[in-house]
Amino acid sequence: MKHTYHILWLLLISLVVVGCSANAPQEPMDPFPEAIDMVPENAWEEITQPTILEEYSLTTQNGNTIILNDFGENIALSSPFTLSGKAPRKWFFEGIFPVSLEAPNGDNIITVWATGPWLDTVWGNPELTGEDMIPFTAEFEFSAPLWLTEWKLVLRADNPSGDEVNDDSTEVQIQFQ
């Protein structure tokens, strides 16, 4: 009798195991198959490929124009890199003005000095004004926090007087890779 119960138990366990394995899915299931059809094929390309312009124009708080060479909003940069462009002569003080990389919350990561030949153009032409565009370059080299990928590039007029009338700035979003 004991022997019969053992055989019945083994038979019952065998049927349960066979029944469970027969119902097991053979291929992994996609829980959201319709989601794939909702995303265009080139969606990631559109997000990750910013438009780079030979001359990228920015308007400052006071309505001045800054031109950045070979640049675009959300451009992907890595250290080291060189920023170049043109800024109004009145933005320079003794040939420099500050350019900063900041976290989205405004924390400063690094500030460098953009330099340009602001006096070279004045000596040869006394008719130039503070509105004249002067070429500049700024060299960036730093270690970036690994967790931070979205940054702001902030350009500020050099204002040693501290007079609020002379304050001016502009910013543009960039990506760090």
* Torsion region of 123: left, alpha or beta (phi above 0 gives left; psi -120 to 50 gives alpha): alpha
| 134 and 162 assigned to the same domain | yes
CATH code of the domain in which 103 resides: 2.60.40
Return mean pLDDT, the chain: 76
| 139 and 164 assigned to the same domain | yes
| 84 and 10 assigned to the same domain | no
Name the DSSP letter for residue 175. E
| 88 and 8 assigned to the same domain | no
Number of domains in the chain: 2
pLDDT value of position 168: 94
pTM listed for this prediction = 0.66
Q: Report the pLDDT averaged over residues 85-103.
A: 91
| 69 and 155 assigned to the same domain | yes
Sign of CA dihedral 155, 80, 151, 47: positive
Q: Report the pLDDT averaged over residues 137-143.
A: 89
- 58-79 pLDDT, tens per residue? 999 999 999 999 888 888 888 8
| 74 and 137 assigned to the same domain | yes
User: Which residues span the domain enclosing 160?
Assistant: 45-176
State the pLDDT confidence band at 44, using cuts at 50, 70 and 90. very low
